[in-house]
Amino acid sequence: MRRITVLAVVGLLLVAPVVPAVASSVVTGNPELSYSVADDTFTANEETRLTVVATNDGNIEDGGVGRFEEQVQTARSVRMDVLEGRIDAPIDVKTGTVTTGSIGPGGAAEFGFSLEIGDADPGTYTVPVEVSYRHARAVIYEGPSSAPTETEYVWLDKERTVELTITIEERSEFDIVSEGTNELFAGDTGSLAFTIKNSGTQTARNATVRLTSRASGLYFGSPATPERENGVFVESLEPNETRRVSVQVGATDDLSPGTYPVDTVVSYRDTNDIGKQSDTLTTGVQVRPERSFAIENVETENFRVDESEARLTGQVTNTGTGVARNVVVRMDDQGPVMPTNGESAVGTLEPGESADVSFTAAIAGDAEPGTNSFPFEVEYENADGDLRTASNPIRKTVAVEPERDRFQVSNVSTSVTPGGTAQLSAEVTYVGDSPISAVDARLFTSDPLSTSDDGAFLGRMDPGETRTATFRVSATSDALPKEYGASVEVRYDEADGDTEFTDGMAIGVGVEESAGGPPVLPIVGALVLLVVIGGGIWYRRR
């Protein structure tokens, strides 16, 4: 009999309001779901999230047992789908069916959908959403409500389509529509330029285009004041209007070649004077290797100790990939080697092009002969006319030769004999590079030689000129006929008025043997004596 009653109740529930059977009690009701969008305002050309909130207010038709009332008001296995094909807008739904558990009376649940909104015109759009769930239409029980027994449930599956409304608002949107060459060399500065477009539907006012470098070696501004960020002010940018943006950008000399990103964000105020900010746009800067140079074919002339006009020549080559304008090569000081003309300007060098360079230097008298390393700096101008210096000096090995005598003494001749005095002559040749004056040669001797006239004034001498210096030299009577050592020292005045002295230049002075034959003087003396004696005798006899 009970089975028949339950079946009858079920049938009535499906076609009419629930009427309790005579032998059973029934609790009836249903969920009352309402739907809303958490944030219903979007913009064109964005990826966003549509969040639908379902709220269950519940409904009781016939009450009774509290737990049965909650069961008939609860929506179970709630599923939600966005009917993308029925949306009259370029909206792509990236999320399929979203399912939650149960939504009890007074409860709520969120259903999130990922959307890609295309180039939609501002306005209001309907988004159809299909919702399905299951709930207990009735709970039939026997016995008192305080202790019900023999319960039966009547289940219903519900499905409905809900039309939600969203708004695509007017908004400024920005795109980088063209870029410049945006290329520079490590250790140099250049320009970052691009064209930005307001691709939205609203005018952007008082806009600031903020640029941020994402590489530690890439900066904005000058090398003296590098900054990681920079900004460009744009007073107004109408929909579809473009504006060229250009800033100075630089790269440190140790930044590796490559393309480095720069983030761009536009901050602006909309037509309601509300501050807004764009999504991050990215552009790039290509960094090429640092300009580099080489110095080859180095040759020297008179590069020796105590030389006022030492000369060094060579070739500088642009070994980099960029043009270097107004190139200047400088020879730096290196201890006792002081450049007297340490700068050589060679003009513009294309990649791979070479040019001659030359320098002069004064090498101190206390310099040590030997191999030395000399630094050369290369200075140039970039495309903007800014002065740059290659980060690393070029070092070249150059030999400093020993000091060379400024004079040579040759063709020494004399006829001095033991116990005698004679003239000594010597040819003095000036082998320096510049004319000198007040040249004075002095002779220095030692036993058994001596000199009573040891100076010979030669006056002005030009490079390569030879003068003969004469002196008086004497030899002691016990001097042997052979060559004895002596030296000649020269004092002279440089062109700048400085007086210089050479070291003693060794020479050989030969002592000759006395000439052979009868002793003339004794014979003459004897003859004179004989004449005197003979004359005296003749006088007495007369």
DSSP 537: H
Report, as an integer, the average pLDDT of 85-103.
94
Q: Are strands 149-168 and 41-42 parallel, antiparallel or unpaired?
A: parallel
Local confidence band at 148 (pLDDT 50, 70, 90 cut-offs): confident
In terms of phi and psi (left: phi > 0; alpha: psi -120 to 50; beta: otherwise), the region of 4 is alpha
Q: What is the CB neighbour count within 10 angstroms for residue 88?
A: 10
pLDDT over 50 (residue 174): yes
Local confidence band at 271 (pLDDT 50, 70, 90 cut-offs): confident
- Which pLDDT does position 530 carry in this prediction? 58
Q: What is the CB neighbour count within 10 angstroms for residue 225?
A: 8
- Which pLDDT does position 534 carry in this prediction? 58
| Range from 66-70, 292-296, 321-325 carrying the lowest mean pLDDT | 66-70
Q: pLDDT: is 38 or 148 the higher one?
A: 38
Q: pLDDT: is 516 or 25 the higher one?
A: 25
CA distances in angstroms from 38 to 55, 126, 127, listed in the order given: 12, 15, 14
User: Per the structure block, which two tokens stand in for 481?
Assistant: 């006929």
- Which pLDDT does position 539 carry in this prediction? 54
pLDDT over 80 (residue 465): yes
On average, the pLDDT of the chain sits at: 87
Would you state the torsion angle of the CA atoms of residues 179, 181, 183, 188, taken in this order, to the nearest 10 degrees? -100
Integer Cα distance of 266 and 287 in angstroms: 25
Integer Cα distance of 35 and 110 in angstroms: 10
| Range from 58-67, 318-327, 348-357 carrying the lowest mean pLDDT | 58-67
Integer Cα distance of 233 and 238 in angstroms: 15
**pLDDT single digits (tens) 281-311:** 999 999 999 999 999 999 998 898 888 889 9
- Which pLDDT does position 512 carry in this prediction? 93
- Which pLDDT does position 10 carry in this prediction? 44
**pLDDT single digits (tens) 470-514:** 999 999 999 999 999 999 999 999 888 889 888 899 999 999 987
Q: Which of 416, 362, 428, 373 is nearest to 398 (CA)?
A: 373
Q: Of 103-107, 137-141, 406-410, where does the model show the most confidence? A: 103-107
Local confidence band at 14 (pLDDT 50, 70, 90 cut-offs): very low
**pLDDT single digits (tens) 518-542:** 444 444 444 545 555 655 554 555 5
- Which pLDDT does position 245 carry in this prediction? 93
Q: Is the dihedral of CA 89, 95, 97, 100 positive or negative?
A: negative
Q: Which residues pair with 61 in a beta bridge?
A: none
**pLDDT single digits (tens) 380-433:** 998 888 899 998 899 999 999 888 788 999 999 999 999 999 999 999 999 887
Q: What are phi and psi of 141, to 5 degrees?
A: -140, 165
- Which pLDDT does position 467 carry in this prediction? 94
Report, as an integer, the average pLDDT of 74-95.
94
Q: What is the CB neighbour count within 10 angstroms for residue 126?
A: 12
From the CA atom positions of the chain, what is the Rg in Å?
57
- Which pLDDT does position 541 carry in this prediction? 56
User: Per the structure block, which two tokens stand in for 295?
Assistant: 């110095």
- Which pLDDT does position 117 carry in this prediction? 92
- Which pLDDT does position 49 carry in this prediction? 95
